[in-house]
Chain A
């Protein structure tokens, strides 16, 4: 049976892989499939998934909502909300293929939407308001619609995931038919819970997608911190927390990417105490203000957005992560073999240090709606305005 809601927080070990082409050239899905399947032993058939950027150029200005539903009625409820709350430009079932080993798969459908604001509001509303609107919409659907989840919600990107080995999930979603300038993939090894489709990686919010190997021991603290800002952790996995933290720190608080990574995996006090005054003040402030955002525990994560791919390890490097570069391509994976399986002769291979992010952004202006977070962004207006106003979208159905 497909388990929709797990009551227990999952724990898992895993394999991860990612590829980016900095010129925005499209990479066929075969490559990422090969790289993740090379790390077969890191999973146990209870979850796998892919995130692909640049796959919907024809709908590039619309938020692509990938919806997973356990039955028709759940899907209908979602559609009702979407009809009410968004302009749906286009919708279609996500193409899938029958795979013998995959049973009881949920329904998958994608919707290309824009927010529907009050009329006066529509006029003044920019990209940030639209993004926040979509965040609250996704939170609300995931929390309130029984049996349905929005599994990805960015523009020109999408997530495909489920219960199975990576090759099976790839076949099921016909991953080889897509081309993307950034790919990430995940092979899951949950230990304490039966796999469920919603629990597979990548996790997303807007165009942030995360694949994660590890367990976050600070989950309880992070979750409570995120709740302060209106994020609801409904999927009960560590990784969801990472996605929301990135969204909060980078997109909403406007921290430069490098510093946001340092907030998640901060330097030790003994290192900070050794720094020059200005830097010491900065890092002290990061730890003081973002103490509850620290991801404590073993992890290696890859996260991507419409414009870049980042690899990050925990502050003592308790999980593996290897990077490589060749030409315009950068590769990241749990194991070097996974990289060499698709790029046998990289120019450079390295293992990033604990807590040191590896940030690869696309060159400027090579893709539509490109985002860059290297420099940080102006912070959203006032302190209290930082909170997502969830009352924008009161939902009837529950």
Chain B
């Protein structure tokens, strides 16, 4: 007798059809890439298999008569504070199949979110707020190493620089798009990100999947990534962008490499990644040429040599316990920027245990790294780029006030193009056409739509940041950097405030 599949008994979602509205157009059958909706030809009716539903809401959104409602399944287990349905169902899944629990996006556990315990300041009376509609408000930010002081000379009665600045990257907004590889997300999303980055004056990141031929034209807004798998890596690729990011780790799965399931490796992907169609692309946990910090230095300078010192080299790490010391080592190894990806950083595929239980929150990591680099007198030698769980423009402002130079957003950009956070990107079946390479599915999100949505989002955030700066009485973003005066804690412990270097509200 086949053993029962416990996990199929208790679906997560209930597909509810309002029969009075349903016109049996079968649109839902077409929309659901998970095969939940089926047309029963004999009975001339629609059936739904709840157990397959991932709760992406695609069918609901597309149903012309709004006949569908996707709800959390109301069937309950008896209450138990410890053994919640999530834990019970995970155990069923593993008992059924063995193996590692897989998931997507960032940490879903309700750890304290420090951004939500920090409030911002505004001017009243003693100091006039500045109105960004009437006064210039500057968000321009430079990424890269800066000298500690300038040398000036006077020639023909005019002052000028004795030594020009080393190459720096100029951003018009301090928000960049985080590494999401072609393969993990569709080419259309990549095209949208690249175009939006260009029009916004910022950068997008190719991720570790190489660079599709159609994207080379966006080079001056591109960061190319060099991860442990070295997929799609060749000298033209390295030279294609303005910066090269060495990915040591990412917040969603510190300590392990990337994983692109074979289902997602189509013909096009295989060309760009330089791997066979249908094969899993599994990056090793470490870079096999980096077993310690001096090896990292070796790779940084190898990349710089290969690109004739014209490109900046970023190093991305997951925020882990010793993040401050590690970041300091990275800066000393010669990185031009350190990217810290916090506990809540997203991914296309990660073991659930890693996504939810490894790493530390980005807010604490930013503060600790900024402090350490300052103490060691090397803060000017590299920029700090923070990522992982940045949900709105206030989070951006807080991250910068905690010491970051700029932030990366990933999940927010995907939500902007329609992602509903179903957390099943690893299946390659994203019904919204985002985290998939299925030629039929990707049509659901054309590059123009992706571009427009992403562009609008960041433009909106930029406006909000300007408003917030103006309210604080400052008119350029550099006066926000590390400015703890603009932050107050609400409901944090002494220790947390000490690490964040903030005062409590009312102080």
Contacts and interface: CB of A to CB of B under 8 A. Distances in A.
Q: How large is the interface on A (under 10, 10 to 19, 20 to 34, 35 or more residues)?
A: 35 or more
Contact of A217 (B123, B135, B482, B484): B123
B152 A376 contact: yes
Contact of B482 (A221, A285, A318, A386): A221
Provide the main secondary structure of the chain B interface: loop
B203 interface: no
A309 B484 CA distance: 33
Interface stretch (A8-16, A117-125, A143-151, A176-184): A8-16
Contact of A316 (B165, B475, B479): B475
Interface string A215-228: 10111110011011
Nearest to A286: B150
Interface stretch (A57-65, A70-78, A290-298): A290-298
Interface of A: 8-9, 11-13, 191-192, 215, 217-221, 224-225, 227-228, 253-256, 258-259, 266, 268-270, 278-279, 281-282, 284-292, 294, 296-298, 315-316, 318, 375-376, 379, 383-384, 386-387
A291 B135 CA distance: 19
Nearest to A378: B151
B168 A288 contact: yes
Contacts of B161: 281-282, 285
Nearest to A225: B482
A217 B471 CA distance: 10
B445 to A, nearest CB: 35
B128 interface: yes
Contacts of B160: 278-279, 281-282
B150 A227 contact: no
A270 B146 CA distance: 22
B126 A224 contact: no
Given A286-B150, A376-B152, 20 more contacts: A217-B472, A217-B473, A220-B401, A220-B484, A224-B482, A228-B377, A254-B152, A279-B160, A282-B159, A284-B165, A292-B482, A294-B479, A296-B473, A296-B476, A297-B474, A316-B475, A379-B149, A383-B147, A383-B149, A384-B377
B464 to A, nearest CB: 18
B148 A383 contact: yes
A364 B168 CA distance: 41
A298 B127 CA distance: 7
Contacts of A228: 374, 377, 379
Interface stretch (B105-113, B136-144, B212-220): B136-144
Interface of B: 123, 125-128, 130, 135-136, 138, 140, 142, 146-152, 154, 158-161, 164-165, 168, 374, 377, 379-380, 401, 472-476, 478-486, 507
B489 to A, nearest CB: 14
Contact of B480 (A11, A221, A284, A298): A221
A204 to B, nearest CB: 23
Contact of B474 (A285, A287, A289, A296): A296
A218 B483 contact: yes
Given A220-B485, A282-B160, A296-B479, A11 B127 contact: yes
Contacts of B152: 254-256, 259, 282, 376
A258 B123 CA distance: 30
Given A282-B159, A282-B160, A289 B126 contact: no
B388 to A, nearest CB: 23
A253 B142 CA distance: 21
B171 to A, nearest CB: 12
Contact of B485 (A191, A219, A285, A289): A219
**Which of A287, A297, A318, A387 has the largest count of B CB atoms less than 10 A from its CB?**
A297
Nearest to B405: A291
Nearest to B379: A228
A253 B150 contact: yes
A220 B483 contact: yes
B328 to A, nearest CB: 15
**Which of B401, B485, B486 has the largest count of A CB atoms less than 10 A from its CB?**
B485
Nearest to A189: B126
**Which of A9, A227, A379 has the largest count of B CB atoms less than 10 A from its CB?**
A379
